[in-house]
Structure 1
Amino acid sequence: MTDTDPRTVLVIGGGASGNAMTILLRRAGLAVDLIEAKPDWNATTGSGITLQGNALRVLRELGVWEKVSACGFPYTSLGMTAVDGTLLFLKEDMKTGGEDLPATLGMQRPQLQQILIDAVRASGATVRLGTTAENLEQDANGVSVWFSDGTEGRYDLVIAADGVHSTTRVAIGIPDTSEPTGMAIWRTPAPRPESVTRTDLTYGGPAYIAGYTPTGENTIYAYVVEACRERGSIDSSAFADEMRRLTEQYGGAWPEISKSITDPEKVNYTWFRQLLVEGSWHRGRVVLVGDAAHCCPPTFAQGAAMSLEDASVLAELLTSGRPWDEELFKAYYERRVPRVRTVVDASVQLGQWQLDGVLDADVPGLIGRTMAVLKELP
């Protein structure tokens, strides 16, 4: 970078994309402030996460792959089973991150977040938790920001990584909002049955989809997908009972898994949502990454991967020596949007087939075609 290039960055949001942006920009010598609304930095939130090779490739770029590998459970195939547990189809997972990385790795989501938190801390970035950006005013040279703790700052660039309900997206005048897809998911961590060594999915039965993913030697996360219900209609104290009711008719490993679903505080219920901001992912010197720009149902397990890829591509452009101008932000959008659109559309399609009752849907074919796109570098 030249002496006239911008060097101060505010990252709003400490999830996967915000943490990755911070690590990469600090590595390049930029001054980075990261603010996160949650006082605990979301360090204990979530049950499990499935990371395919293209996500692992970015985690390696961040320098955290060895720690991720030590915590996670790698595997190479995806099984599709009947309601009684009979294996119907076994598909070898494509190595979308290259031959030197596992095809897929499951891990506990809080462990991944803690690894990224540690890397952000080690990067030397300034971190403020329990803090939000209350107001932004920008001009041709940068952005002035007023914070919820009463302080203010001046930055050459603001990166909005504040999630699907991004207040920054609204503040800069981008009207796009996420929409429910009509499906919802129950998720919980559970002990790993010895037979569970990969993701298995069952389409149909008491729910639209039932599945599980190993997240470590002794853990999995299990999930069932059904039609959306009003959250107020479900007493949170009955979450475990409700998830167990939905899973207890499935065979294979499910009887053992269902017995372990007893703690309602460990069960999460979330609606599937979709979003793809069109036109551009920036306004002036404020740019969106991750779920602030796009989100999709977890049917392809690519949400975190797309967010991490956003951070990798944007950091590459910002540290390339180019001016931080409209052309650079346009290049970021144009490079990312075709790939993200493929994932969003395919993720929604898998669910829509279930909602529409399509019995002969080519699920393996759609998965294969989408994974082939993801094998290419972002």
Structure 2
Amino acid sequence: MSSARSVLIVGGGTSGNSLAVLLRRAGVEVDLVEVSSDWNVHGSGITLQGNALRVLREVGVWERIRERGFGFDALGMIAPDGTVLHVAEDLRTGGDDLPATLGMRRPELQRVLIEAVRASGARVRLGCSVESLEQDGDGVDVRLTDGTSGRYDLVVAADGLNSATRAAIGVPDEPEPTGMGIWRVTAPRPAGVERTDLAYGGPAYIAGYCPTGEDSLYAYLVEPARDRAAVPPESHAEEMRRLAAGYGGHWTEIRDSITDSSQVNYTWFHRLLVEGPWHRGRVVLVGDAAHACPPTLAQGAAMSLEDALVLAELLTTHDAWDDALLTRYRDRRVPRVRMVVENSVRLGAWLMEGARDADAPGLIGRTMAALAERP
């Protein structure tokens, strides 16, 4: 592969950061632009399953992730009153040498990846994005919103669910709400919480929590999507406490800690899968810009990380960065991503429908078994 190759990555989230590190390791020149001036160091928590951890190990950050997160190998099913109904051993989808699941504060994950991007030598510009793209058969001329410009062999759109780059290159697909909304908060970890526990039913569709460190967890409540404008931000803590009041066990302590509305966020679940090509010329989509799903399988970040790994592998092992190579990337990813998106949406639909005969454990088991295979 020519050592003169250059890539612009638009978006400094999980997939964009990981791709930057993987490409720099192979000697590719990388510029990364991120519209957020704080490089997205915010959010509550994230659940990373083994196949996500496998990619983070390839990126070279596993040891820091392990130190800053909380790994575990079981999933608890509880009644709304906190009674433990069943504890299942989780499949280690990343291999036997990685935990089945690791909970982590989302800002900590971002900080680890930022450290890796900085150390890689990628050039980073914050508070900046793409103003215009003009491409020919050999490259892409890019003008940025800070007034600078450059020419690249490839532009990667890693700018998320509502990707402006996706729209700019004429990909018509847009995210669709699934009908669910989720409240999330970071909270102190009660003694005895050492795994994710999920309660189905009660005031919400799902009430769950995930340990994210020795002293922290993040908790979430999933409900029918509501008009977000009707819930003023200053009342978010009160509203989440109200929903949490229907749950017992560790939820009693978690609920009492929800006092700061600035630490509570409410978002809708969305579905997206770009059905046509994931590229136009020399501009290609990765991560949430190409696909997104409800977190009912906790696989959103994992699918984005796998995109970065597969795209980096193809780019760094082939001389021709052409239509055939970018089509190969998309074709390799779509069957796996489609399974995750459709099964994540199906699990949510069963909850909204109150489907009592749904085989949720079977669906989850089959999906996780498939994800144990390398992408």
TM over 0.5: yes
Show the 5 A alignment for 1:46-195.
46-195=43-192
1:350 pairs with 2:320: no
Aligned twin of 1:13: 11
Aligned twin of 1:236: 233
For 2:355, the aligned partner's letter is: V
Conserved? CA contact 2:292–2:300, under 8 Å = yes
Aligned twin of 1:29: 27
> Counterparts of 1:148 and 1:83 in 2: how far apart (Å)?
50
> Counterparts of 2:223 and 2:159 in 1: how far apart (Å)?
27
Residue 80 of structure 1 and its aligned partner are, at CA, apart by 1.1
For 2:285, the aligned partner's letter is: L
1:201 pairs with 2:201: no
CA offsets 1:64-96 (integer angstroms, 9 cap, x no match): 100000011110011111111112222211110
For 1:284, the aligned partner's letter is: G
Residue 248 of structure 1 and its aligned partner are, at CA, apart by 1.2
Instruction: State the SS of the aligned residue for 2:236.
Output: helix
Aligned twin of 1:214: 211
Uncovered stretches (5+) of structure 1, i.e. residues with no partner: none
Conserved? CA contact 2:2–2:319, under 8 Å = no
CA offsets 1:321-356 (integer angstroms, 9 cap, x no match): 341011111110111000001110111111101111
> Counterparts of 1:353 and 1:236 in 2: how far apart (Å)?
30
Aligned twin of 1:304: 301
Residue 238 of structure 1 and its aligned partner are, at CA, apart by 0.5
> Counterparts of 1:41 and 1:143 in 2: how far apart (Å)?
24
Q: Which runs of 4+ in 1 moved over 4 A?
A: none
> Counterparts of 1:281 and 1:372 in 2: how far apart (Å)?
26
Residue 280 of structure 1 and its aligned partner are, at CA, apart by 1.4
For 1:167, the aligned partner's letter is: A
Residue 369 of structure 1 and its aligned partner are, at CA, apart by 0.7
Instruction: State the SS of the aligned residue for 2:92.
Output: coil
> Counterparts of 1:307 and 1:229 in 2: how far apart (Å)?
27
Aligned twin of 1:41: 39
Instruction: State the SS of the aligned residue for 1:202.
Output: strand
Conserved? CA contact 1:322–1:328, under 8 Å = no
Conserved? CA contact 2:274–2:290, under 8 Å = yes
Q: How many percent of aligned residue pairs carry the same amino acid?
A: 66
> Counterparts of 2:81 and 2:103 in 1: how far apart (Å)?
24
CA offsets 1:230-249 (integer angstroms, 9 cap, x no match): 11111111100000000111
TM-score (norm 1): 0.98
> Counterparts of 1:370 and 1:195 in 2: how far apart (Å)?
29
> Counterparts of 2:152 and 2:85 in 1: how far apart (Å)?
55
Alignment size in residue pairs: 375
Residue 250 of structure 1 and its aligned partner are, at CA, apart by 0.5
Show the 5 A alignment for 1:349-368.
349-368=346-365
Conserved? CA contact 2:204–2:222, under 8 Å = yes
TM-score (norm 2): 0.99
1:285 pairs with 2:282: yes
1:246 pairs with 2:254: no
Instruction: State the SS of the aligned residue for 1:262.
Output: coil
Residue 365 of structure 1 and its aligned partner are, at CA, apart by 1.1
Question: CA RMSD for the aligned pairs?
Answer: 0.8
CA offsets 1:109-155 (integer angstroms, 9 cap, x no match): 10010000000000001000000101101110110111101111110
> Counterparts of 1:132 and 1:244 in 2: how far apart (Å)?
38
> Counterparts of 1:372 and 1:304 in 2: how far apart (Å)?
18
Conserved? CA contact 2:133–2:141, under 8 Å = yes
Conserved? CA contact 2:82–2:250, under 8 Å = yes
Uncovered stretches (5+) of structure 2, i.e. residues with no partner: none
> Counterparts of 2:239 and 2:318 in 1: how far apart (Å)?
54
Conserved? CA contact 1:50–1:105, under 8 Å = yes
Residue 51 of structure 1 and its aligned partner are, at CA, apart by 0.5
For 1:291, the aligned partner's letter is: D
> Counterparts of 1:271 and 1:366 in 2: how far apart (Å)?
23
Aligned twin of 2:335: 338
Conserved? CA contact 1:203–1:210, under 8 Å = yes
Conserved? CA contact 2:181–2:268, under 8 Å = yes
Larger displacement relative to structure 2 (204-213 or 81-90): 81-90
CA offsets 1:276-316 (integer angstroms, 9 cap, x no match): 00121101000000000000001111111000000000000
